[in-house]
Amino acid sequence: MGIINLTPDSFYDGGKTTTSREILLQAERMLKEGASFLDLGGYSSRPGASDVSQEEELNRVLPALEAILQEFPEAIISIDTFRSEVARQAISIGAALINDISGGMLDPEMINTAGQLKVPYIAMHMRGTPQTMTQNTNYDVLTRDVLTYFSGRIKEANAAGINDLIIDPGFGFSKTRAQSFALLNELELFKELELPILIGISRKSMIYKTLDTTPENALNGTTALHSIALLKGANILRVHDVKEAMECISLISELKRA
């Protein structure tokens, strides 16, 4: 899953895709490099990011979505939003799935909307909001608590008629760096839910702070942790760097076949 951030303040590539030309060039590169999906987001979810109105989010996302689908009609587009109305409008234009950082917790209409639209739905684990999540890192037993959260999301999704549910443990969301590593170390436990697992760790602070570097210099560390995630059962990698992620997938797939 290739990331296309349509925001001025995302932690790594904020402000890099603000014109139609830049968006299309990034989409073309990612698709050529092997991306199965493109994930469009108009609301930065980095810790402490400013809130963005629904109108502004729509103004960022919908024109980009239309432009990509006009240029690349076979592209499978995910809409990265926690707002049901943004999801509804994006799906009506041609987006194919919903990627919700809140798992339906920030918009009470989201789960039912996804069920009505009959599209795949990605539910991530997060406590609070992007503005408050760093204050919500207390757990009894981290992995157990996250698994319990997903049990509730699964039950609600099934009741709403969502047929294709994907889970994202939410690395860096309401989790300290140490907690993110602990979660990755126990990732195989999430296979018990018998659902596809999406991993979003690309260039995140759990990597660049551990290596005492910057997001711009965190590609090698990202690849290392992607390898571990794939070995532990990850099914989808959400990435900034598609070519390198595809190489990682190819090598791990060959290893598993050996």
Q: What is the pLDDT of residue 15?
A: 52
What's the rounded mean pLDDT across residues 19-38? 94
Q: Helix (H, G, I), strand (E, B), or coil: what is residue 119?
A: coil
What proportion of the chain, given as a percentage, has pLDDT over 70? 95
Q: Which of 118, 175, 238, 243 is catalytic?
A: 238
pLDDT band at 238 (very low <50, low <70, confident <90, very high): very high
d(CA 20, CA 86): 20
190 contacts 233 by C-beta, under 8 angstroms: yes
Q: What is the pLDDT of residue 28?
A: 97
Q: What is the pLDDT of residue 208?
A: 97
204 is catalytic: yes
pTM higher than the cut 0.85: yes
Q: What is the pLDDT of residue 9?
A: 54
Q: What is the pLDDT of residue 44?
A: 78
More confident residue, 235 or 136: 235
d(CA 101, CA 116): 19
Q: Helix (H, G, I), strand (E, B), or coil: what is residue 50?
A: coil
Name the CATH topology of 2-257: TIM Barrel (3.20.20)
**pLDDT surpasses 70 at 253:** yes
pLDDT tens figures, 37-71: 999 999 877 666 678 899 999 999 999 999 999 99
More confident residue, 14 or 60: 60
pLDDT tens figures, 113-167: 999 999 999 999 999 888 888 888 999 999 999 999 999 999 999 999 999 999 9
Q: Which of 60, 88, 175, 204 is catalytic?
A: 204
88 is catalytic: no
Domain boundaries, the chain: 2-257
Cβ-based neighbours of 68, under 8 Å, separated by 6 or more: 23, 24, 27, 38, 40, 75, 77
**pLDDT surpasses 60 at 10:** no
